[in-house]
């Protein structure tokens, strides 16, 4: 006590202690001491807990880490969202607005709100059916999977790091077991679930630099796959490529390649003028065979040659790799004026300086030792004559599909494919449907006759038809003046 009386602050403390003792009849010094003992005990217990946990981690816990760039990462987060995460809150989450792929269908069903006097609608108040997704970001969650308790943890590298899609920390899965089998079973279930929910859609992956300029694959879109029948192309060419890929993907073929010591790879070249359906066919093929697409462009200015080769080796075994603008790899053979050069004057493909991938870099990436076996490589170009022979030799390009500007028949097909569903709904009796279809066939012939053959790309003609989405008659009436305009603009 004499200690308190020597100093003015000690004096105040002493008076306070005496006051509490007298009014509450409790000795605050004992109270504070007990508190300190409890805190000390708690801290020691925590340290003992940490020691025990790290011992358990080394001896009887099985642990699996999953890096953010691995496709499995998204599959696990999706599974957690749809199962374990639904039932209990996570400590720290990443909120993300996600567009549903069926959002347009929902909009069709929703009553349109308040059109103005001209029949125009503001969509600000219409629910676009996008939804808020809360993804586990930081923290851990214990859940039960087939009688095994699994600890899912997601820890940010630094506690202060801002949640950012590019800097997602790795995931950790742990269970009390001497074998990895329970976690492996869980991952099999996660992958099966992912396949099930994405059965009618394809995911498009593109390269994306993260905050440390480290390029990685990132899913750019997940969308319903394009029906192959909507791609207009000579039937025989379409059948050839479909049969070839079907045969290639068969497990017996893989074995056959292995038995004969041939690298199990298959490459296709799609060449032709812009807007003739090269990309559309690649994505329809991915849909037919249930594969995801990995898109690489040689004109990507942020891609160095070593990054290009690493990205090429990081694609999964079964997928479509779409390599765009392949003629840009500095492969000029000097005959730019050839009739097969479909690139537009001044178009990106002429700017060879834009790519840092050399021909040898490209060839190494395609069939070097680290190149993935089992993938389907589709290369596209507007200028096939500029490709080096080494690039298009069998083994690298096994089938070359030439796309051309459309014939009369293809123009008719495009017209019919855009309007054929107009009469195919319950609103019309079968007789009306028949009549409507017959009229459409007439209009398609009329429409195609007004367009010069092999002059405009299907993309251009489709652009015109999109102005008359539900008015085939008007499209026919106006196509002649569109052709005149196009001629004038040339
Ligand atoms: N053969 C086709 N069949 C169906 N649609 C087509 C066809 N060609 C072009 N289109 C339409 O035109 C648009 C552009 O087509 P796409 O991107 O496939 O052309 P591309 O040949 O890959 O062009 P680019 O060489 O400029 O990349 C798409 O919306 C597609 O629907």
| Residue 261 zone, left/alpha/beta (φ > 0; ψ -120 to 50; rest) | left
Q: Which atom of ligand 1 is nearest to the CA of 417?
A: 4
User: Do the domain assignments include residue 204?
Assistant: no
- Among 59, 74, 92, residue at a domain's last position: 59
- Per-residue model confidence as pLDDT tens digits over 115-135: 777 778 776 766 555 666 666
User: Do the domain assignments include residue 395?
Assistant: yes
The residue among 355 and 271 whose pLDDT is bigger is 271
Q: Which atom of ligand 1 is nearest to the CA of 410?
A: 1
pLDDT bin (cut points 50, 70, 90) of residue 283 is: very high
Mean pLDDT of the chain: 82
Going by their DSSP bridges, the two strands 293-297 and 148-154 should be labelled as unpaired
Residue 112 reports pLDDT greater than 60: no
Residue 22 reports pLDDT greater than 70: yes
Substitution candidate for ligand 1 out of 462, 463, 464 with most atoms within 8 A of CB:
462
pLDDT for 59 equals 78
What is the number of structural domains in the chain? Answer: 4
Looking at the structure, tell me whether residues 423 and 391 fall in a common domain.
no
pLDDT bin (cut points 50, 70, 90) of residue 340 is: low
The residue among 351 and 249 whose pLDDT is bigger is 249
- Per-residue model confidence as pLDDT tens digits over 190-215: 999 988 887 778 889 998 887 666 78
User: Do the domain assignments include residue 447?
Assistant: yes
User: And the tokens for 482?
Assistant: 């569109």
- Per-residue model confidence as pLDDT tens digits over 130-185: 666 666 667 788 889 998 999 998 875 544 444 444 556 788 999 988 889 999 99
pLDDT bin (cut points 50, 70, 90) of residue 51 is: confident
Substitution candidate for ligand 1 out of 459, 461, 463 with most atoms within 8 A of CB:
459
Ligand 1 pocket (Cβ < 6 Å) reads 230-233, 274-280, 382, 458-459, 462
Looking at the structure, tell me whether residues 178 and 36 fall in a common domain.
no
Looking at the structure, tell me whether residues 422 and 412 fall in a common domain.
yes
Average pLDDT score over residue span 317-329: 87
- Among 365, 381, 402, residue at a domain's last position: 402
User: CA torsion 6→7→10→14, rounded to 10°?
Assistant: 50
Q: Which atom of ligand 1 is nearest to the CA of 459?
A: 12
Q: Is 28 exposed, middle or buried (0-12, 13-18, 19+ CB in 10 A)?
A: middle
pLDDT for 232 equals 96
pLDDT for 406 equals 97
Substitution candidate for ligand 1 out of 274, 458, 465, 466 with most atoms within 8 A of CB:
458
Q: Whose CA is nearest to atom 19 of ligand 1?
A: 275
Q: 281: domain CATH number?
A: 3.40.50.300
Q: How far apart are CA 446 and CA 423, in angstroms?
A: 19
Looking at the structure, tell me whether residues 352 and 222 fall in a common domain.
yes
Which residues neighbour 114 within 8 Å (Cβ) at sequence distance 6 or greater? 121, 122, 125
Looking at the structure, tell me whether residues 456 and 382 fall in a common domain.
no
Looking at the structure, tell me whether residues 51 and 74 fall in a common domain.
no
User: Do the domain assignments include residue 295?
Assistant: yes
- Among 59, 87, 102, residue at a domain's last position: 59
Q: How far apart are CA 198 and CA 290, in angstroms?
A: 9
The residue among 100 and 80 whose pLDDT is bigger is 80
Angle subtended by helix axes 8-24 and 28-59, to nearest 10: 90
Q: Which atom of ligand 1 is nearest to the CA of 282?
A: 18
Substitution candidate for ligand 1 out of 227, 234, 275 with most atoms within 8 A of CB:
275
Looking at the structure, tell me whether residues 398 and 250 fall in a common domain.
yes
Looking at the structure, tell me whether residues 336 and 434 fall in a common domain.
no
User: Do the domain assignments include residue 121?
Assistant: no
Looking at the structure, tell me whether residues 13 and 74 fall in a common domain.
no
Average pLDDT score over residue span 34-57: 86
User: Do the domain assignments include residue 103?
Assistant: yes
Lowest-pLDDT range of 251-255, 341-345, 366-370, 425-429 = 341-345
Q: Whose CA is nearest to atom 14 of ligand 1?
A: 275
pLDDT for 342 equals 55
CA angle 62, 66, 69 (to 5 degrees): 170
User: Do the domain assignments include residue 451?
Assistant: yes
| Full residue range of the structural domain in which residue 427 is found | 408-489
Looking at the structure, tell me whether residues 143 and 189 fall in a common domain.
yes
pLDDT bin (cut points 50, 70, 90) of residue 28 is: confident
Indicate if ipTM > 0.95: yes
Sheet holding 148-154, edge to edge: 61-66, 171-176, 148-154, 131-145, 92-98
Looking at the structure, tell me whether residues 446 and 382 fall in a common domain.
no
User: Do the domain assignments include residue 205?
Assistant: no
| Ligand 1 centroid to residue 277 C-alpha, Å | 3
Looking at the structure, tell me whether residues 54 and 67 fall in a common domain.
no
């Amino acid at each position: 006590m004499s200690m308190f009386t020597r100093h003015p602050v000690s004096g105040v403390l002493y008076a306070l202690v005496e006051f509490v003792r007298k009014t509450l009849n409790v000795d605050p010094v004992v109270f504070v001491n007990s508190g300190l003992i409890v805190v000390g005990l708690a801290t020691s217990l925590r340290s003992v807990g940490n020691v025990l946990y790290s011992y358990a981690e080394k001896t009887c816990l099985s642990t699996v880490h999953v890096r953010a760039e691995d496709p499995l990462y998204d599959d696990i987060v999706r599974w957690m969202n749809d199962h374990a995460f639904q039932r209990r809150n996570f400590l720290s989450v990443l909120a993300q607005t996600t567009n549903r792929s069926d959002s347009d269908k929902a909009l069709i069903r929703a009553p349109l709100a308040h059109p103005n006097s001209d029949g125009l609608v503001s969509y600000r108040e219409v629910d676009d059916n996008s939804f808020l997704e809360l993804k586990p970001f930081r923290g851990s969650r214990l859940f039960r999977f087939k009688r095994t308790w699994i600890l899912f943890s997601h820890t940010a590298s630094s506690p202060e790091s801002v949640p950012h899609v590019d800097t997602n920390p790795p995931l950790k899965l742990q269970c009390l077991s001497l074998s990895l089998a329970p976690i492996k079973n869980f991952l099999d279930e996660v992958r099966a679930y992912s396949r099930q929910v994405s059965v009618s859609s394809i995911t498009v992956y593109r390269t994306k630099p993260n905050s440390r300029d480290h390029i990685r694959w990132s899913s750019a879109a997940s969308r319903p796959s394009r029906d192959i029948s909507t791609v207009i192309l000579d039937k025989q060419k379409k059948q050839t490529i479909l049969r070839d890929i079907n045969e290639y993907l068969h497990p017996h073929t893989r074995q056959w390649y292995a038995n004969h010591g041939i690298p199990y790879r298959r490459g296709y070249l799609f060449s032709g003028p812009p807007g003739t359906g090269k990309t559309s066919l690649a994505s329809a093929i991915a849909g037919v065979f249930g594969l995801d697409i990995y898109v690489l462009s040689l004109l990507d200015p942020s891609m160095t040659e070593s990054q290009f080769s690493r990205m090429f080796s990081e694609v999964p075994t079964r997928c479509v790799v779409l390599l765009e603008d392949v003629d840009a790899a500095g492969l000029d053979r000097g005959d730019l004026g050839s009739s097969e050069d479909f690139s537009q004057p001044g178009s990106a493909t002429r700017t060879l300086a834009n790519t840092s991938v050399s021909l040898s870099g490209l060839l190494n990436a395609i069939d070097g030792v680290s190149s993935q076996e089992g993938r389907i490589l589709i290369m596209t170009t507007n200028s096939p004559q500029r490709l080096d022979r080494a690039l298009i030799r069998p083994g690298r390009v096994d089938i070359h599909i030439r796309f051309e500007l459309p014939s009369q028949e293809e123009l008719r097909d495009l017209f019919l494919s855009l309007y054929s569903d107009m009469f195919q709904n319950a609103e019309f009796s079968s007789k009306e449907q028949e009549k409507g279809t017959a009229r459409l066939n007439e209009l398609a012939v009329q429409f195609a006759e007004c367009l010069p053959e092999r002059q405009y790309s299907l993309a251009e003609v489709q652009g015109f038809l999109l102005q008359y989405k539900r008015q085939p008659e008007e499209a026919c009436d106006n196509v002649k003046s569109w052709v005149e305009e196009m001629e004038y603009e040339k």
